[in-house]
Structure formats: structure tokens, C-alpha cells
Amino acid sequence: MDYLSQGVTQALALLLHMDAATLSAITATLVSTAYAMTAAMLLGLPCGFALGYYDFPGKRCLRLISDTLLAFPTVLIGLLVYAFITYRGPLGEYGLLFTLPGMAIGQAVLALPIVISWTAQAVEGLDPRCRQTLLTLGASGAQVAWGSLKEARYEIGMVCVTAFGRVITEVGIAMMLGGNIRYETRTMTTAIALETSKGEFAQGIALGLVLLLMAFVVNLALAVLRRRGRGDHGRRGGGA
């Protein structure tokens, strides 16, 4: 196990000395994830809210499709997006293949069903008395929708944090669409896979430690949101 202890020691040295390749992988991961999450939230939150809040023809079918896409194989997502952004594809003229924005498109597709389905579930789980109370007080349709959205804010926050954790740890999409180009599109997950296959454990362990720290922060945020959500529900229940 000496190689493992040496790898940890070297990994800490890489982080402390701000190794360029390690920082580049961290930066690429955060940038692509930020792009993907921004797109997924801008598209997914309104769609998920509408899917959970309103009744309309075809709602069950759309919900079934969204829930099914939660299990969409990531390698298939990578393949489909690759077909669109490759140089011979419909979006080939934009030069997105093997770039961070191109990689972020695939990651956004991965996150979108999570945001839509779980936002819809959060809205459907609201106490129906909330809407009735707002209507009784004379609120307009828009005010009722906004009040319901505020009521589900902690649950929606947990949805976004969960989607973030799913996106930032993705390997297949990042490899297929980003190309794993050093100092450009190499992310933490693809760098870990590459360095481990080469027998170079130090950088892989260093990036693994960073991912572990991010996972801790994500779970801490989830715990805080859950606690606040329970606290708000408890206060409302006690007031009732």
C-alpha cells in the first residue's frame, strides 16, 4: 500500500503548489457545470413548475416521458448530442465539438429531466390549503403561482443541488463531447480516468479529493435545505 500513501502525499503537494494541470481540470469542470446548470435551471424550473402546478391535456404523458428520461443512459446522451454538434451535424457550423460549451450541452440534457421531474414532484407535494388560502384572500392567478413557488423553494433548491452533483461527476458525456483535451476540456472526472489508466495516481487522487470536498459541500447544502424546509413546515403546523 506504499504507492497509495505516496499518491496521497503527492496529491496534497499538487494541490498546495497549485499544479497547472490540476487547476485547469478543476476550472474546466466548474465552468462546464455552471453552463449546464444555468441552462437546465432556466429551462427546467419553469417547465417543472408548470407540469406540477397546472392541469392540461397530455400532462400525464409528459410526466411519464420526463420520469423515463431520468434513466436516460449518459453514453446515449453523449452520442445524440455528438451527432448534432459534430462538423457534419445540424449545429456543426458553430464549432461546439470538443469545447466546454459543447460539453455543457450534453450535461444540460442530463440535468434537465432531473430538474423538471423533481420540481414537478415538489410542487405537487404542496399543501393544497396554501392555494385555497391565497385564493380566499383575493390573490390573482399569478400571485397564487408565485406564492406556491415560494412555498416549494427549499424543495426546488434541493432539486438544483442534486442535479449539480449529478452533472459535476459525469464522465462519459465529458469524454465524448469534450475530447479530454489537456488545459482545455479535460475535467476532473476525465482526468482521473486518464491518469489512473496511465498508473499516475497522484493527480487522480488530488482531483478525487477535490471531488470529495465538492460532494461534501453538496450534501451539506442538502442537509441545510432539508432542515430549513422542516423548520418552516413545523412553524406553519404549530401556527395552525
Percent of the chain topping pLDDT 70: 90
The pLDDT value given to residue 98: 94
Answer yes or no: is pLDDT of 230 > 60. Answer: yes
**Residue 162, burial from CB neighbour count under 10 angstroms (0-12, 13-18, 19+):** middle
The pLDDT value given to residue 132: 73
In whole angstroms, give the CA distance from residue 97 to residue 120: 32
* Residues 106 and 81: beta-carbon distance below 8 Å: yes
Q: How does the average pLDDT of the chain come out, rounded?
A: 85
Percent of the chain topping pLDDT 90: 42
The pLDDT value given to residue 58: 92
In whole angstroms, give the CA distance from residue 96 to residue 88: 12
Q: Which residue has the higher pLDDT, 104 or 126?
A: 104
- Cell 476532473 locates to 188
Cell matching residue 145? 403561482
- Map residue 76 onto helix, strand or coil: helix
Answer yes or no: is pLDDT of 142 > 80. Answer: no
CB atoms near residue 175 (< 10 Å): 20
At residue 206 the predicted structure's pLDDT band, cuts being 50, 70 and 90, is confident
Answer yes or no: is pLDDT of 39 > 70. Answer: yes
The pLDDT value given to residue 27: 93
Answer yes or no: is pLDDT of 158 > 70. Answer: yes
Q: Which residue has the higher pLDDT, 21 or 235?
A: 21
**Residue 90, burial from CB neighbour count under 10 angstroms (0-12, 13-18, 19+):** exposed
In whole angstroms, give the CA distance from residue 206 to residue 166: 20
Answer yes or no: is pLDDT of 220 > 60. Answer: yes
Q: Which domains does the chain have, with CATH numbers?
A: 1-230 (1.10.3720.10)
CB atoms near residue 85 (< 10 Å): 23
The pLDDT value given to residue 234: 58
Tell me the per-residue pLDDT of 48-78, one tens digit each, with 9 for 90 and over: 999 988 888 999 999 999 999 999 899 999 9
Nearest C-alpha neighbor of 190 from the set 74, 26, 37: 26
The pLDDT value given to residue 231: 65
Of the candidate ranges 76-80, 110-114, 149-153, 160-164, the one whose mean pLDDT is the lowest = 149-153
CB atoms near residue 60 (< 10 Å): 8
The pLDDT value given to residue 20: 85
State the first-to-last Cα distance of the chain, in angstroms, to the nearest integer: 60
Length of the chain: 240
Answer yes or no: is pLDDT of 137 > 80. Answer: no
